[in-house]
A and B are shown apart, each in its own frame.
Chain A
Amino acid sequence: MTSSRKREFQSDVLAGIRVAIPLALAVFGFGVSFGVVARSAHFGLLAPLVMSATTFAGSAQFAAVSVVGTGGGVAAAIVAASLLNSRYLPIGISLAPAITGRTPRRLLEAQLVVDESWAVSHLGGGRFSEGRLVGAGLLLYVGWLAGTVVGLLGARLLGDPNRFGLDVVSPVLFLGLLRGQITNRRAALSAVLGAAIALVLVPFTSPGVPLIAASVACLLGLVRT
């Protein structure tokens, strides 16, 4: 990396951190709920913490722990988590041009990808910033881990985290991110269509399938105007 590209990367990292501060607080809240749920699913203290540190994918972790906790078995938990994580395949492909360097570094940076860091790194028009991904991803990672610890340790005091409305933290956060992503009518149409496809499929499919099916709406990008 030349020194000017290095400086640009560093300022992108800082920009990513700055934008992600409110998101990290919300992700912290989501982490607290995960910690509480993992505790009530009898996962102990260390296993959920290791999971948050190595998996770093809220919805998949939530689903896996809930399935095992309600006696659904490990196999069903893995299927649920895989389906929920399947959106990271197209997301990873969308980011690929922006993620440079040697293979181990690309693999490591890819692990910082969550919905929020991905949205923050989107510069518009399908282009992404590597620096913003790294900055936002690292801060969100810290928020997620810290939230998990608080949830695990405070589970008994907190009781049901939904009592505090924590289950709307993540969707309202996504709504705030969505506001910045609707840049034209086509994006708005694709968003409405994606939500509709997902809701229509919910009664008939496993969790996660509606999400990956919703991405079909993006083919609107091929329609000429």
Chain B
Amino acid sequence: MTAAWLTVVLVGVVSLVTKGTGPVVLGGREIPVRVRKVIALLAPTLLAALIATQIFTSGHSLVLDSRSVGLGVGALALVLRAPILLAVVLAAVATALARAFLHLP
């Protein structure tokens, strides 16, 4: 098996198990109230962490580049109550322009 296919199979198995464990082991069962209070915060917290790492990091460094410009434009569009898709398109255009004309990475 080539490295590519081995990666495909193993990553697939890892994903199947990590995604499946909670619903298979605990599926359909009620969660205690205290645990649910913690879980209620998981969505905002993980989304914020995903945004931060996808915008402000490059490898192991913290950076401000064209992506920050795009995020700023996207955030402004969302504050002005633009639909998500419009905000995404404006952000991508702003990032592309900053990359092409301001020569930001």
Contacts and interface: CB of A to CB of B under 8 A. Distances in A.
Contacts of B41: 186-187, 190, 217-218, 220-221
A156 B47 CA distance: 32
Contacts of B24: 103, 106-107, 110
Contacts of B7: 47, 51, 64-65, 68, 74, 77-78
Interface in B48-84: 48-57, 60-62, 66-67, 70-71, 74-75, 78, 83-84
Contacts of B44: 178, 181-182, 187-188, 190-191, 194
Contact of A179 (B14, B37, B78, B100): B78
B4 A68 contact: yes
Interface string B4-21: 111110111011101111
Given A187-B44, A194-B45, A222-B34, A171 B18 contact: no
Given A165-B70, A195-B48, 17 more contacts: A26-B85, A29-B92, A85-B15, A96-B25, A96-B31, A97-B30, A107-B24, A111-B20, A124-B40, A126-B31, A167-B67, A172-B70, A172-B91, A172-B92, A177-B47, A181-B43, A194-B48
Interface residues of A, number: 106
B102 interface: no
B92 A165 contact: yes
6 contacts: A60-B11, A68-B3, A81-B15, A85-B19, A96-B28, A214-B49
Nearest to B12: A54
B103 to A, nearest CB: 13
- 4 closest A-B pairs by CB: A92-B22, A165-B95, A194-B45, A165-B92
A99 interface: yes
B14 A163 contact: no
A2 interface: no
Contacts, number: 313
Contacts of B95: 165, 167-168
B18 A86 contact: yes
B10 A74 contact: yes
Given A97-B26, A165-B66, A221-B40, A194 B49 contact: yes
Interface of B: 2-8, 10-12, 14-16, 18-31, 34, 36-57, 60-62, 66-67, 70-71, 74-75, 78, 83-85, 87-88, 91-97, 99-100
A1 interface: no
Contacts of B75: 172, 175
B92 A25 contact: no
Interface in A177-213: 177-179, 181-182, 186-188, 190-199, 202-204, 207, 210-211
Contacts of A175: 47, 51, 71, 74-75, 78, 87
Given A100-B27, A167-B67, A211 B20 contact: no
A94 B3 contact: no
